[in-house]
Chains A and B, each alone.
Chain A
Amino acid sequence: MMKRLLAIGLILVIGYWLANGLAGVPFGEDRMLVGQYYLDNVKQQTGAINAVTAVVVNYRGFDTLGEVTVLFIASTGVGALLWRRKKERTAEVEGSVVLTTGTKLLVPFVILFGSYIFIHGHLTPGGGFPGGATIATAFLLLYMAFTAYEIPHKGFEKTEGVAGMSYVLVGLIGLAIGGYFLFDWIWQTWKIGTVGELLSGGFIPVIYMLIGIKVGTELSGIIDNMIKEGVSE
């Protein structure tokens, strides 16, 4: 009881302190310094309509590369923590007929929609990470509905590595052509496509396709690792 009261008091003090700090920030005013530059130049500099993905992939591509690395380390870490020689699914009850049939019908559509999200990252909200997470949801559905389902491991883990390497490779091509890492060589040198159409946005769709595939396979791998239990031989 005493502990709880102390914790509530501490949280209230911290909350008051944060609110006091935020009270000095005026809302509803134009406070953009760098933001205005992005909004003014995003179309001719990157060819993308979606300013967020342009900033994330193009202006600040290093952050995205770091995020992809974080996800990769998380996936590898889960794999290392839960490593056992022999692991099997231990689920006992198969999903009901309604669930399995529904899953069978829905999974292709979920994968299609995930691909739609990451292919259109430069035009509509979304991008590689939400698209990849949607694809992983499809595999989670399969794991939940069927007791015996397993992702094709060999293909999945290789695809993941190849996608991650291709991202760095695209950046290195930029380094060779433009002089710095993650230089947008497709848009800056060739200007392919008109702004607002699918075939535009420089290397944003390319990179987002790679990230989508990578995130999708990675999260599926994490699900696979966590859902299995060790079997004593």
Chain B
Amino acid sequence: MNAFAITGEILVLIGTFFYMLSALGLIRMPDVYNRMQTSTKSATLGSLGVMIGVGIWALGTDFGSVAWFTKTLVIAIFLLLTNPISAHALIRAAYRNGIPLWEGSVVDRYREHMEAKKEEGDEE
């Protein structure tokens, strides 16, 4: 048991906690957009915690090596870059397919923007 192993274990714990929050958000939230908001953010953070944690944990064990940390770092960076893009594409596709906002939402600037653009297009 050394500092690396303890840090890694704590990071993995934090990561799994955020995974749980992300799953909870999927059940708790009222509409697609809120669900995506809660689940993608916390799942990304949770994955980062778990992966970096595993890498650091492996540094502290006798069978682990730096190769583990390098690999987890690469995977973590890849996930950090791709997860927001996929969430963005999903939400945009959902909105463009006419999935309504939650009835409690008050402002929808994107719709106003699109309608304004449409009118401009008609005038031309």
Q: Please report A residues at the B interface, Cβ cutoff 8 Å.
A: 93, 95-96, 98-99, 102, 105-106, 109
What are 6 contact pairs spanning A and B, CB under 8 A?
Answer: A93-B96, A96-B89, A98-B89, A99-B89, A105-B81, A109-B78
> Which chain A residues border B111 with CB–CB below 8 Å?
none
- Say whether chain A's binding surface is mostly helix, strand, loop, or mixed: helix
> Which chain B residues border A105 with CB–CB below 8 Å?
81
- Say whether chain B's binding surface is mostly helix, strand, loop, or mixed: helix
Which are the 6 A-B pairs with shortest beta-carbon distances? A102-B85, A98-B88, A99-B89, A96-B92, A98-B85, A99-B85
> Which chain B residues border A98 with CB–CB below 8 Å?
85, 88-89
B96 touches A106 (CB 8 A): no
B89 touches A106 (CB 8 A): no
Q: Please report B residues at the A interface, Cβ cutoff 8 Å.
A: 78, 81-82, 85, 88-89, 92, 96
Residue of B nearest to A101 (CB): B85
Q: How many A-B residue pairs have CB under 8 A?
A: 19
Compute how far the CA of A46 lies from the CA of B15 in the bound complex, rounded to whole angstroms. 42
Compute how far the CA of A11 lies from the CA of B65 in the bound complex, rounded to whole angstroms. 49
Residue of B nearest to A95 (CB): B89
Compute how far the CA of A98 lies from the CA of B93 in the bound complex, rounded to whole angstroms. 13
B81 touches A99 (CB 8 A): no
Q: A95-B89, A99-B88, A102-B85 are in contact. List 16 more A-B contacts (CB 8 A).
A: A93-B96, A96-B88, A96-B89, A96-B92, A98-B85, A98-B88, A98-B89, A99-B85, A99-B89, A99-B92, A102-B81, A102-B82, A105-B81, A106-B81, A106-B82, A109-B78
> Which chain A residues border B78 with CB–CB below 8 Å?
109
Compute how far the CA of A106 lies from the CA of B79 in the bound complex, rounded to whole angstroms. 11
> Which chain A residues border B92 with CB–CB below 8 Å?
96, 99
